[in-house]
Structure 1
Amino acid sequence: MRARTLVPAVLAAALFAATGCGSDGGTGSGDAAKVAPSTTASADQDSDTSSQGGSGTQVPEALRFTGTTVDGKPFDAKTLAGKPVVLWFWAPWCPKCRAQAAETADVAADYQGKANVLGVAGLDKNAAMTDFVSQTGTGSFPHLSDEEGEVWKRFGVTEQSRYVILDRDGKTVYEGVLPAGEGLAEKVAGLTG
């Protein structure tokens, strides 16, 4: 049990050190300038594939990253372009994340086609992430397995149970904690209405 709490603490400290300490405390005043260039996307992609999504939508810098889902499928964030995006950063052992699961899944279902929801799992191994998705019933939207914390670093996230909400242009309009996901639906409704 001790190792289970030590590993996440060490990874969280490493993420904190790598991204610096500075948080807006969830005030929603985060800005897209915090987003670093992709470290997982190919640097020599031509501009047609890196700047446009599947429907010809311009891809903002914030969505120029790739990864692998918890079920082992490749994922390219450019597929999210053109709609508001909720990035939900969670860890499998986190009780606050578990409490947010139902509301996050409801928002994903209620706003399907109008907004995108992407879970970004970290601070553990993929097997635990897969179990979390299964146990919480959140498999209706994609979840990245971010064991190395690349996407977490990209968005400056240093702790689990965090939401980063982007508008349709890729600008961060909210970054913070929403206990039990309360208020998430209202934030997404404001971007889709």
Structure 2
Amino acid sequence: MRARLILTGLLAAAALTVAGCGTQDNASSQGTADTAPPAASGSSAPAGGQSGISAVPQALRFTGTTVDGRPFDAATLAGKPTVLWFWAPWCPTCKAQGPETARVAAQFQGKANVIGVAGLDKPQAMKDFVSDTRVGAFPNLSDEAGEIWKKFEITQQSFYVILDKDGKTVFTGSLPAGRGLADKLTPLVG
């Protein structure tokens, strides 16, 4: 049994590594995920984590740690559209998306959330990426174990998941150089 669990974990890690950097240009999903995949064990946040929010959508029931070591509770994102940007430090496609993602985060500050979710490398490489690409104005999570990636069923880096204010997935896919991210977020903040 233990060998099977280890093998399953190794296969999942290999799939993430082999998936490549930006191999899928644009796969969208318009409103197909009313419920998010089940939360990874030990990664759920209590409902109502923020004053004035009666329930936290399943998609936002996870916790993590930012690349600079601060605790993060996704329940605090409830009630606003949210962009989750899944990236890897060594990925050139991810580096190209950084400036546009940072611009969109600044443009929609206070109206929508933008969160980076780093994986597939070590914490120092994640910190260096945030510094080098100047994406530190919004939270970037260190997901070295891949728990958040698994929750959202992410199998490749350079991938966006956009949730509406109710936590419903309205887009999943890659956006070359981040182009089109603002266009996808604009109707959600109306």
Alignment of 1:41-190 (within 5 A): 41=43, 50-57=46-53, 58-190=55-187
Whether 1:40 aligns to 2:42 is yes
Unaligned runs of 5+ in 2: 1-10, 19-23
Query: Counterpart in 1 of 2:15?
Result: 13
| Structure 1 residues 10 and 35, CA gap change in structure 2 (3 angstroms) | closer
TM-score where L is the length of structure 2:
0.84
Question: How far apart, in 2, do the equivalents of 1:103 and 1:133 lie?
Answer: 14
Task: Compute the displacement of 1:10 (Å).
Answer: 7.6
Question: How far apart, in 1, do the equivalents of 2:43 and 2:12 lie?
Answer: 26
Question: How far apart, in 2, do the equivalents of 1:59 and 1:28 lie?
Answer: 22
Q: Is the 8 A contact 2:162 2:171 kept in 1?
A: yes
SS class of match (1:170): coil
Identity across matched positions, percent: 60
Q: Render the CA deviation track for 1:54-80: whole Å, top value 9, x for unaligned.
A: 122121011010011100011000010
What letter is aligned with 1:50?
P
| Structure 1 residues 106 and 152, CA gap change in structure 2 (3 angstroms) | same
What letter is aligned with 1:85?
T
Task: Compute the displacement of 1:32 (Å).
Answer: 4.0
Q: Is the 8 A contact 1:88 1:161 kept in 2?
A: yes
Q: Is the 8 A contact 2:86 2:160 kept in 1?
A: yes
Question: How far apart, in 1, do the equivalents of 2:166 and 2:56 lie?
Answer: 8
Unaligned runs of 5+ in 1: 1-8, 17-22, 43-48
Question: How far apart, in 2, do the equivalents of 1:40 and 1:135 lie?
Answer: 32
Q: Is the 8 A contact 2:36 2:59 kept in 1?
A: no
SS class of match (1:62): helix
Question: How far apart, in 1, do the equivalents of 2:16 and 2:157 lie?
Answer: 14
Task: Compute the displacement of 1:51 (Å).
Answer: 1.6
Question: How far apart, in 2, do the equivalents of 1:60 and 1:12 lie?
Answer: 30
Question: How far apart, in 1, do the equivalents of 2:17 and 2:62 lie?
Answer: 18
Whether 1:191 aligns to 2:159 is no
| Structure 1 residues 12 and 96, CA gap change in structure 2 (3 angstroms) | farther
Runs of 4+ in structure 1 deviating by more than 3 angstroms, as ranges, are: none
Q: How many residues align?
A: 173
